[in-house]
Amino acid sequence: MDYTKAEPVIFTAAGETDQEREENVEMVSGSPGFAPATVIVAEAIHKDADLTVLDFTPQQVNIRFRVDGLWHPGVPMDRQTGDYMLAVLKQLAGTDYRDRRSKQKGKFETEYVRQKQKFKIVSQGIPTGERVGLYLDYKRPPLETVEDLGMRKSMVPQLVDLMKMDSSGWFLVSAVPGEGYTSAWRGALDSCDRLVKDFFVIEEVKKVEPEVINIGSITFDSSKQETALTPLPQLILREPDVLAFPDLPDGKLLESLCDVSIKHDIPMYFRNPGKNAIDALLRMIALGLPQPKKFLDQLSGVLCMRLVRKLCTKCRIEYVPHPQLLQKLGLPQGRIERLYRPFIFKPGMLDENQNEIEPCSNCSGIGYKGRTGIFELLKMTEPLRAAAIKSPNLAALTALAKKNQHISLTQEASVVIAQGVTSVEELQRMLQS
Ligand SMILES: [Zn+2]
């Protein structure tokens, strides 16, 4: 990466008035830090990096970009260039460029390749120098439905069916925190018939999730010794159709909620971390329920969403899969003629004519662009309930679910691999992470 060759980035600096904003840009446009600042900003936009971290060490500035949840190293910058660049970024963001110790936050806007973006910059002195986070603020859609998130069409009515309970009953939504944990929860709540139902989400006052339209949020404050049970007596008077809890309390409290659900015939939805549906179920049992049977009888099903990166459609590489691989993925032999793998760019790569290869313009050489959700929907059955009480372990329950024609997370992912949306390598990474 050439930090001396400026990119055509137009900055709008922080400031109270247009004049102040213009002056802030003018002040830095002649600085030796201006070109590297444009290069970093352009690179972050180009890579779709929602976060770029600049680590200032005594020798140099280490740079990494977070793209679709994974870190990619950038080309390090010498310390002096880095110092000039940071002064420019801080000036644009309206923070004090001379202050290298305090935690400072600011914002600026950019226009690059006719697209407008907003950046937030957070800087903080650390013992070895300074750490700077550059957040790219994409305008994300306000709410993604489960289909937007990647659920196959035929699963949607099955999900709605399991979540639609006329009397008491429970449904569990799971994902890995930090990997679509909020999106999965919001998407699942949205997919039920919330417009005709009276919904309430009961959540800790400090952990309120972005609001789902038409769902009332009721908070409790654990610092005041309140729990998820505290608001319930008042709420029940309002005859809610569904109560939803994004954080599972301990086993004893969960049991109390179970009693409320049965006594008042109120369906309840819960959210809990899980790597797959059975893992989420086991984690719920592991909370220490006094009577697991009572709770399992209430549970209608478990939804788990995991995220995989999507192959870049511009540079993905086609290959003929080995029959053994298809068998391992559970894909029909003879029907899948080709699969795809990523083309991961490395500097110095040569093509067949010994010419240096340029990184792909669509994915910056990462090989992937964007993410999609893989959904697993587990329907609770009597044999599964009995097994979960008798031998609550992953291997036993997975084997039983398979026997009962349950479609596992891996099988769901295989379908997405067969469609060429993601790769076998990415599935393995997801399963191991
Ligand atoms: Zn590409």
> Average pLDDT of the chain?
91
290 within 8 A of 253, measured Cβ to Cβ: no
End-of-domain residue from the set 76, 108, 137: 137
Q: Is 11 helix (H, G, I), strand (E, B) or coil?
A: strand
Distance between CA atoms of residues 261 and 272, nearest Å = 18
CA of residue 72 to ligand 1 center, whole Å: 15
Predicted confidence band of residue 100 (pLDDT cuts 50, 70, 90):
very high
User: Ligand 1 centre and the CA of 237: distance in Å?
Assistant: 56
pLDDT digits (tens, 9 = 90+) for 308-322: 999 999 999 999 999
Residues in the 5 Å CB sphere of ion ligand 1: 312, 314-315, 360, 362-363
- In the reported structure, the alpha carbon of residue 364 is separated from the centroid of ligand 1 by a whole-number distance in angstroms of 6
- How close is the Cα of 346 to the center of ligand 1, in Å? 13
Q: What is the pLDDT of residue 274?
A: 96
- Mean pLDDT of the region 63-73: 90
The residue whose two tokens read 């226009």 is: 111
The encoded tokens of residue 409 equal 């997370």
- CATH number for the domain including 124? 3.30.450.90
Q: What pTM value is reported for the model?
A: 0.82
- pLDDT number for residue 141: 57
Please report, in angstroms and rounded to a whole number, the separation of the first and last CA atoms in the chain.
30
DSSP, residue by residue, 280-300: HHHHHHTTT-S-HHHHHHHEE
Tell me, yes or no, whether 166 and 218 share the same domain. Answer: yes
CA of 11 to the centre of ligand 1 (A): 28
Q: Residue 341 Cα, ligand 1 centroid: separation in angstroms?
A: 11
Domain ranges, residue 40? 9-137
Residues 227 and 122 in one domain: no
- pLDDT the model gives residue 78: 96
Q: How far is the CA of 321 from the centre of ligand 1 (A)?
A: 21
90 C-alpha to ligand 1 centroid (Å): 32
Q: Among 17-31, 101-115, 209-223, which is the least confidently predicted range?
A: 209-223
396 contact partners, CB below 8 Å, separation of at least 6: 387
In the predicted model, what is the mean pLDDT of residues 222-249?
Answer: 89
Residue 129 lies in a domain: yes
Q: Based on the fold, state whether residues 404 and 302 are members of the same structural domain.
A: yes
Question: CA-to-CA distance for 401 and 384, rounded, in angstroms?
Answer: 7
Domain boundary among 137, 155, 172: 137
In the reported structure, the alpha carbon of residue 371 is separated from the centroid of ligand 1 by a whole-number distance in angstroms of: 14
pLDDT exceeds 80 at position 193: no
Domain count across the chain: 2
* Assigned domain for 353 exists: no
Distance from Cα 342 to the centre of ligand 1, integer Å: 8
Query: How many Å lie between the centroid of ligand 1 and the Cα of residue 106?
Result: 32
Q: What tokens were used for 221? A: 């404050």
Do 74 and 119 lie in one domain? The reply is yes
Taking the centre of ligand 1 as the mean of its atom positions, its distance from the CA of residue 344, in whole angstroms, is 8
Structure tokens that stand for 114 in this block = 């006719």
Cα of 322 vs centre of ligand 1, distance in Å, is 24
In this predicted structure, which of 20-29, 46-55, 129-138, 195-204 has the lowest mean pLDDT? 195-204
Q: Mind listing the pLDDT tens digit for each residue in 394-433?
A: 999 999 999 999 999 999 999 999 999 999 999 999 998 8
